[in-house]
Structures are given as structure tokens and as C-alpha cells.
Structure 1
Amino acid sequence: MAQTFDFIIVGAGSAGCVLAERLTANGRYKVLLIEAGGSDQRFWIKIPVGYGFTFSDPKVNWRYSAAADPGLNGRAAYWPRGKVLGGSSSINAMAYVRGLPHDFDDWDTAGATGWGWENVRRSYEALETNDEWHQGRRRLRGTGPVRVTDLSERMHPFAKNFLAAGQDMGWPFLPDMNAAAEEGVNTLPGEGMGYVRSTVKDGRRWSSADAFLRPAMKRGNLTVISGALVEKVLTAGWRATGVAFRVKGQPQTAKAAREVILSAGAVNSPQLLQLSGIGPAALLQRHGIEVAHDLPQVGQGLQDHLAVSHFFWANTATLNDRLGSLAKQMKAGLHYVLTRKGPLSVPVNQCSGFVRTAGAALPDVQVYCNPASYSTQANGKPQIDKDNGFLLCVQPSRPVSRGQINIQSADPGQAPLIEPNSLSAEEDKATAIRASHLLQALAATPAMKRVTREQRVPDIAGMDDAALLENFRERAGSVFHASCTCRMGHTATDSVLDARLRVHGMAGLRVIDASSFPNVTSGNTNAPTMMLAARGAEMVLEDNENRPLAAE
């Protein structure tokens, strides 16, 4: 006999862990959290620089691949997604970036009423504890469960060259990229460059599982089942009633007295809706799935960020000097084990910021600068260069192009078809060219030229517009910010969810994760995903306050 819970959450990732903690906090509700992956208690997950080793590890990663993308000259991009407690927050680069105010005002305009900047800003503040430098001493600001750490004093000294280059470009230095968006450091909020703040605590990754799930697991009203693949949402008429899933090949079901909440991410949440008969009718019928609810926008609207990176040889020491050989890596490893300090305690992404390209009214590009050069081996493992080098990277922040994610069969074990549809909008092509010109200018600043020994092939310096666009098509790749495939909006004709994250036309069913974004935010998506889940949990609790409890 299937056990009954008040709420069933599918996916223990960035959003699902938040929901599990918030929905169990008052002790009133019985909650089931189901995760396809296993434990996050792994060395390469906990060590900040270790995400290079989880990048392609099938034990913690879905390892998806997108379809051949015409906009990227037919290349098929690799799409890592977390398959582990903590989800992608356990394998990401740990950058904590809220996004810019206009991102969320655009959400409100798109139909996500109540999700404008002033509302979400308060939610961010409640989530965060900032570990930062203040007047020469460290301080904790805020009392939230998410530790956001200023690691600037541990970053490689070479990173100061990036900030100097930013000054050459006329970009203000931002002590805190996130605070700038609310404090108005510049006339355009959030514009400028600074050190990246990271979800790191005491030298270790601080994932959503660390911040939210571990405290919740101490409560008797939370049940966590890992290593379980959810195959479909069970429905009766227009209501979600539970889920069917498998553990070690054995089929099981669980009932939800109140709601089923999908937090499986931008790839798996639309896949699961479609497998459950909720999605475009023609697609479902083509795969022999009975249509429970014809909802055409499920899987549509996919957005992601593309970035183009260029490497340079340096004439002075970079992080390669500390990690460029096995002996140096072993020395750094010993130092980390003994002190939780040193180069392994800091993510490689060290400087970033939002800036405007020529003629842009608002910041439209995110810049990344890393004090290291490296490559990815055939097995997916990182290979840091022995010689000193560095990376400059630009990412158009607000793409217009939209793709789609659709099932390829009725088999829950088969990966869905991911079609990013990159650069399909002319506006995105124009932004890619302007962003590439910005990269040319950044590389040519006096600060960068002073430390550059050689520009590596391809040399971007002399490229014209046509060559820059072709270079972007040939070399740009995903930075793994997939979103919007179950987006909030006005009605079922333009979206999947209403502004309270409820699936249009279905009772007792919500989607709360990055797939719920109406538009991709300007920067890294982990912070806005956790914020969205915290606000979503408030909505769930408000909407269920007067409903009866689950049967014991």
C-alpha cells in the first residue's frame, strides 16, 4: 500500500533542498523528497576546486548532450546536470550572483506578478549570510542559511590584473556584485567588476544540501529517498495525486494529500511532465502517452547562456605555477587537507562583472576572468597547463533566442532531446559580435598587455564583425544556466505556470526550479533558483494553511 504524504518533492537539488527545509519547519506536514542520485559526501564535491572532476563523473552527473545546434555550426554541446543530493549546487562553480534588478522586473512584466526586484531582494536578504571583509576585519552580515563568502584574500595575486584592466575599460570596481544591485554604486545598478563571491564555508563547498537539507533531515516529518527515478506524476482528472518511481528497479508509488512539486531542473521537470501526459498533445500521442492535459508550452521557451573564452600565455606567475604539475598539485592537496586553505580552497572563477557593450542601455554582458589556463581531456577531466596562462571570457547576459526540450520516447530512462536553438534571433548575433569586440578591447588594455606574453590561437585581436561571429559560432559554449522550460506567465498559451508556480489547469501540482524562470537572469542561476524556491515555499504554505493533514 502506497504511503501518503502531505507534499512530495521530486529532486533534491538547489530548489528541492530549500523546499524540503521550509515545508518541514513547522512540524505540521509530512514531506517526501525523492532524488535520482546518491550521497554528496565525496571529496571532489566538497573541495572548492573539485568541480573540474565532477564535470563528467556519471556517479554525480546526468551528463546530457544537446542536439547538433545549427547556430553553433552544428556542434552538440555537453550539458552537465547534478545527479546527487544538492543537485547542480553540488557540482557547480559556486558563484553566488543574484542577477540584476531589471531581470526580475522583466519577470513581473512577463506574467510572474509579484516577482519584481523589490520583492525578490527581500527574499535574497533573508537567505544569505555574507562572510566578508569590513574595515580590515572579517564579519558576518545577515543570518540566512546560505553562506556567501568573499574569498578575495585567497585568490591568486594575478587576479588583480583583471581588476586593473577593468579600470582601464572604465568599469567601476564593485566590492560586492550583489550589493551593488541594491545600493546603486554606479548610475546603472550592478555595472562593474569585482571578485566573485562563492557558496563556500570554512574552505568547503556550501551547497543547497548543506544549507537546507541537512538541517531538515534531523526532523521526523521528512523522508528522503535517494537513488530513485521518478517515472511519472499520478493524476486523477485535473489533480495530481502522487508519483510512481523505481528504486533499484523495483516500482513504488507514493500519494500526495496536498501537492506534488517538481524540482528536477530545467531538463528533467519538463521531461517528467511530458512522461505524465502533461504537455503538447501531438508530442505525447506520437510516443504513445495518454494525454492527461494538453499544455503546449511544456518544454518550450528554453534559455541558456553562451560564453566565448580565449586563453593567453602570461609573462608572470598565474595559478598554473601552483597547480601545473603533479608534484605541485600534491603539495596543494596536502596544504588543503591540513588547513583548508591554499589554491584548492578557491574556485577557479575569480573575477567577474556585468558591463555594457557599445550602445547598450543596460548591462548586457557578463565578463569572466580566470588566473589559469587549462583544457578538458577526452574523459572530461581537467588538464591544467604547465606554463603560466589566463582566461578572458564574455557571456551575452540576456539572450532572446529560445529552444525546447522534449521527450524522445515514453521510456523515463531515455534522455530527452535538448534543442538550444542558439543564436536564432538576429539580436543575439548582434550582441555576440559586440561582446566579442569588448573582449578584444579588454585584452588590449594596458593592464592586460603588461602581463601577456602571447595571445593563443585563435588570436581574436584582428577579427572583424564577420570573423567574430564565426568565431563565436565555432567556439562558444554553454555555461550551464538552462532555464525557462516550465516558465511562469500569463496563461496556458504563453507559459506552463501561473505566478504562484502552479501548473495551469492542474490542481495540486507545481514546478519550482530554474525551469520556472520566465527569462534567464543576467548571471549565474544558482542564487536565483534558491531564492525562487524560498518564495515558492512561502506560497505553498500560504495556499495550504487551511487544508486537512495527510492520513497517518
Structure 2
Amino acid sequence: MDETDYIIVGAGSAGCVLADRLTASGRHKVTLLEAGGSDRRFYVHLPLGYGKLFYDPAVNWMYRTEPDPGLNGAQDHWPRGKILGGSSSINAMVWIRGQREDYEDWGRAAPGWGWESCLAAYRALEDNEAGADEYRGTGGPLFISANRSGLHPLVRSYLDACAEAGLPEIPDFNGARQEGAGVYQMTIKGARRNSTARAFLRPAMKRANLRVMTRALVTRVLIEQGRAVGVEYRQRGATRTLRARAEVILAGGAINSPQLLQLSGIGPGALLQDLGIPVVLDNPNVGDHLSDHQGLNYTWSMKVPTYNDELRPWWGKLRAGLQYVLGGGGPLAKSINHGGGFFRTRPDLDRPNMQLYFQAFSTLIPRSGERPLLTPDPWSGMSIGLSNCRPTSRGHIRLRTPRPEDHPVITANALSTNHDVEEMLAGVKQLRRIAAQPALAALILEELRPGPQVVTDEELIADFRARSGTVYHPSCTCRMGQDLATSVVDPGLRLHGIGGLRVIDASAFPNITSGNTNAPAILMGWMGAEAVLRDAR
């Protein structure tokens, strides 16, 4: 019989951290199961190469939502990592923790997850290039680039325009305050993507007590007498069983974890019965409370060169490649979002509710099968994007069929509340306000999207319903809380009602954080490992 102490399902942002921390002492035997394959791929490690991974089924689950009324009936594309490192291997690498108040909300929902506890964990796991202070950490396993050199010259113009619009420049979005404009820290090290597979899993794989199995699709959790005792999985055409002496830990993310729970008979009872799945635990919260940030770009043609001019022609690609290979620099060595910011859409709000993304770059002309980051528009283009920080719209994840290989139903319900629509309307007006400031206005030729003809509130709303979509931060579908009536896992990330089973990933967020969600997903793995080890002791 194949046995191990701990089974981790999913080698993603949280799963790789768990594998590292649970094997560090040498006392526990851990098996990590990943449905995808190796991360040893050129475009995974090339920072700007993530555009090539956006529609690549070899590394990407390639999810699509149901037709969404809030997006004019569009089916949104939801890329999620199917690879060692999970979505940390295919994302845009921006390192944002969120706001102090987000974690104060977490602490109220789940004691032990308040700001002070989470801040201490962030400082412990980080090796921040900007140096240690009361907010940043150094010496941890995850190197964070301060991203202070090699920026496009237009970043300076953007920051000056934000200041002219009343949004001052701040040195660190993960510091004392988030409101303002600045440069994003990145999970990039030595001009290569610093995924959780690179930072946490590769060192852990040298230990004899860790086994990593790729191309292993877990089909259900085995539950006996109210306790998880192992998993069933498929690998190389065969169905196998793996038993856990201690615990089964789901770390598949906001889509895969609720899907696997439902396949295992844990979820909305009526749905499971309709699909012929025996109900082990009726909990309608499994797959519910889906939260995600929505965003879009405004785009301008420019009088000055942008990355379009560098990366569009063949000789520009050659030059950028030589810059990268010979010196580890140039546009290929970074994410496209050099700058950004956070602002309030109303002065009476107590904290920022919108995030900004600045790109000296534009991709209005689509290319089949990829996000054309390496083949931008054939003119000098610039984009400023935004996304909402704390949307009130909620969706859900539900099984479509009882077949594990079939994608679940993803109902996003984007922009389905008046609050989110009004917030987005105020937000897009701020994009134009920034572009109209002298520091940028003198460099702009014309607005291309949505275009100067889109003026009224009705026209602006129609535009963002037609053009906006996910910014790839789904969460909260197995959320933490103190009781079965409103949540899926307890503050120790143990499943309510089932022993020996935890969910440790972004699905367990009590609420979505204000900004990119990769940092808090990694935090879940770090603090979740502490909870597992504490119980083991």
C-alpha cells in the first residue's frame, strides 16, 4: 500500500510553500501531487514571456466562465497555472500584500489571521531587495525585486502626472501606506521569474522525505468514518490510491479546491445528488462566495517611443534578446506593469478602493493563441489600467459533471452590483484625469480606447461592460470562518465537519485582499504550514 504522512494536492503558490515547510525538519514524509508538469520551460522563466503562457494548455487550465450578463454576455478567459509553481509560474509577478484593514477583516472572521500575525509572516518569508524595515523582511526564502532600475522613461512621466492629479509618489505599496503612485515590487530574481517552484520547491526537492509527482490528477479525496484518509488520482492512464497517515491538504486554488471537494461528496447537497455523487457533507459554502477583481485598460497613441517601438520590429526583438542574454536587462527582464498605484474614488472613503497599472506599451491588435506582449501594436502606445480592490459582486464554482477532467461551471457575476458599477465609473474617469495632466498630456497623440467620443456616464459604463474582465485573482470559494453555516474551513484551515482534511490556498481567504493576490496566496501556504506543524506537535 502506498502511504505517506501528508498529501498535498496542487504544487502552486501555496502548495510549494507547504511542501518546503512541512519537510524542513525531516520528521514528516510528504507527497505533493500536481496535475501539470515541470516548470523547466523558457517562457516560464523569462519574465516578459508570460504572454506566451496565457493561452498555452500545456501549462494553463484555460478556464472559461459562463456567459456573464455584467460583461455583455461574454465568456471570460481565466488562465490558472497547471504546472509546478501553479499561477506563480504564469502570472505578472507583481508583489502586493494588500491593506492592513484587509487582514484586520481576516482576523475578525478567523482569529489568528489579523494584521500583526500576517505582517510577521510576510517579514519572515521575504528577502526584499529594498532592505528590511518594520514592514519588509530580509533573509527569507522568497527574493522580492525592488524594481528600481531599468524602468521605461515614461514611468517618470506617469508618476509626475499622478502627483499633478493629487496622487503622490510613495516608495513602497507594502509599507506604511498604500495610497499613491509608485513602482511595483516583483517576484523576479536575477532576471528570471521567482515562482514558488523556484524559491520553495526546488530546494525542498533535495530532501529525501519529499516526493513530487507530476501529471497526477487527483480525482477525489477518500473519506472513511468522517475522516480524510487519502486520495485517488490518475497518472499515465492508471488510477491509483495514496493513503495519508496524518492529513490530506488541498492547495489547488480557488477553482480546483472546491471542485475536488464537490467531487468527493462535500458541497451543495442537492447538486451532488443530481450528479449521482454520494453526499458526505452538505455544505453549500463550498464553491460559493467567489470574489475576483475586475479591470480594463485605457490606451493612447504617443508622440514619444514606447516598448511598442522596441519589441514590434524583428530587429527590436533581436536587440531585446541580446540585452537579456548578455546583460540580464532590457524589457524582457521585467513584467510589463512597471508602475501602478492605489486611489480612492471618493474622498469620504477611509482607504483606497482602486488599483492602477501603468504600461509603456499597448496590445490593441489581438494575436491568435497568445497575449501579444512580445508583439505589441505597430505604433507608439501607452496604457493605464485599473481594477477594483474590494468588489461586492459574488459568483460561484459548481461541478458541471461528475467527471474530474471536466472543467467546472464558473459563474463570475462580474459587475453585478450597483456598488461595483458606480465604483468602476468613477475609476475610469480618474484614468483620463491622470492622462490629462501636463506631464503626460504633452506626450499623448490621441486616446485610442475607448476614444474621445465616449463621454457620458452611460457610454463609459457600456464601454467597460464590453471591454473589462478578470485581472486573475479568484478567491474565497472555500473561505475561512468559525462555523459551518458561513464557511468551509476553520481558522486552522481544517475542514468543518471532516477530520484530517485542510484547504490551504487562495480559496480559503475570508475576503479578497486589496490588490494582486499572489502574495496572500503564498502567505496562506506559510501560515497554513505553521498550523499543520503546530497540530502535529
Same fold (TM over 0.5): yes
CA distance in 1, matches of 2:529, 2:384: 38
What is the aligned partner in structure 1 of residue 439 from structure 2?
447
| Corresponding residue of 1:126 | 124
Aligned residues of 1:120 and 1:531 also touching (Cα < 8 A): yes
1:25 aligns with 2:17: no
Residue of structure 1 aligned with 2:360, choices 352, 371, 396:
371
Q: CA deviation at 1:381?
A: 4.0
Describe how 1:27-66 pairs up with structure 2 within 5 A. Answer: 27-66=26-65
What is the match of residue 257 of structure 2?
A: 269
Q: Output the amino acid matched with 1:124.
A: Y
1:332, distance to aligned residue in structure 2 (A)? 1.0
C-alpha offsets along residues 87-120 of structure 1, whole Å, 9 cap, x if unaligned? 00000000011111111111122x2212111110
Q: C-alpha offsets along residues 447-500 of structure 1, whole Å, 9 cap, x if unaligned?
A: 221111111042257522222222111111111001011011231111111111
Matches within 5 A, 1:238-253: 238-253=226-241
Equivalent residue, structure 2, for 1:428:
420
What corresponds to 1:548 in structure 2?
Answer: none
C-alpha spacing 1:5/1:460, structure 2 compared with 1 (3 Å):
farther
1:513-540 per-position Cα deviation (integer Å, ceiling 9, x unaligned): 0101111111001111101110010000
**149-158 or 264-273, which deviates more:** 149-158
What does residue 476 of structure 1 align with? 468
Q: Structure 2 CA distance, aligned partners of 1:307 and 1:291?
A: 38
CA distance in 2, matches of 1:211, 1:29: 20
TM-score for the superposition, normalised by structure 1? 0.94
Amino acid at match of 2:304: T
Structure 2's unaligned 5+ residue stretches are none
Long gaps (5+) in structure 1: 135-139, 184-188, 546-552
The whole-number CA distance in structure 1 between the counterparts of 2:131 and 2:98 is 22
CA distance in 2, matches of 1:215, 1:285: 44
Q: TM-score when scaled to structure 2?
A: 0.97
2:141 matches 1:142: no
CA distance in 1, matches of 2:497, 2:15: 23
Q: Aligned Cα RMSD in Å? A: 1.4
For the 8 Å contact 1:301–1:485, the answer to whether it is kept is yes
After TM superposition, the runs of 4+ consecutive aligned structure 1 residues lying more than 4 A away are none
Q: Is the 8 A contact 2:24 2:204 kept in 1?
A: yes
**1:198 partner SS:** coil
Counterpart Cα distance in 2 of 1:7 and 1:103: 31
Equivalent in the alignment of 1:549: none
Say whether 1:69 aligns with 2:58: no
Q: CA deviation at 1:434?
A: 1.2
* Residue of structure 2 in register with 1:4 after alignment: 3
* C-alpha distance in structure 1 between counterparts of 2:268 and 2:387, whole Å: 32
The 3-state SS of whatever aligns with 1:22 is helix
1:312-367: CA deviations, max 9, x gaps?
00110111121121221122112212221111111101111111112322100001
Deviations 1:222-247 (A, max 9, x none): 01000110000000021000000010
3-state SS of the aligned residue for 1:309? strand
On the 8 A contact 1:131/1:141 being kept in 2, the answer is no
Corresponding position of 2:174 = 178
- Tell me, what secondary structure is at the counterpart of 1:178? coil
- Give the match for residue 164 of structure 1: 160
> 1:490/1:465 Cα in 2 relative to 1: closer, same or farther (>3 Å)?
farther
Contact in 1 for aligned 2:56/2:369 (Cα 8 Å): no
Change (3 A) 1:457 1:365: closer
Asked if structure 1 preserves the Cα contact closer than 8 Å seen for 2:355 and 2:387, the reply is yes
Aligned length: 530
TM-superposition CA deviations, 1:256-279 (whole Å, max 9, x none): 111100000111000000000011
Secondary structure of 1:391 counterpart = strand
